[in-house]
Amino acid sequence: MSLKTKSILYNFICFVSLFLVLRYLILGYIIKTDGLWLAVISAVIASIFAPKFFVVQDKGEEKLIMKTIFSKDIKEL
């Protein structure tokens, strides 16, 4: 599996897991509204707080890196 495919898969897994936690465990009990607005609010929050995975070229070699909103440094995986 290429690094580009891994980065897309990691982005999807992090977003979906955060979305489901927000939708059903946290916001489902706090906000009493219909499913569509609750899903939209959960998707926006999950897209902001989910870590982002990128593939970068460094000295001719590809590296998978992760960037989060909570830290300024970039972590290499």
- pLDDT tens digits for range 14-33: 999 999 999 888 877 887 77
Contact 55, 9 (CB under 8 A): no
φ/ψ (deg, to 5) at 55:
-110, 125
Structure tokens given for 10: 């990691």
Could you tell me which residues are beta bridge partners of residue 17?
A: none
What pTM did the predictor assign? 0.85
Confidence of residue 8 (pLDDT cuts 50, 70, 90): very high
Domain boundaries, the chain: 3-76
The DSSP code for 59 is: T
Asked if residue 38 lies in contact with residue 31, where contact means CB atoms within 8 angstroms, the answer is yes
**Helix, strand, coil shares, percent, the chain, to 5:** 55, 20, 25
Rounded to an integer, the average pLDDT of 1-18 is 94
Q: What percent of the chain is predicted at pLDDT more than 90?
A: 56
CB 53 within 8 A of CB 64: yes
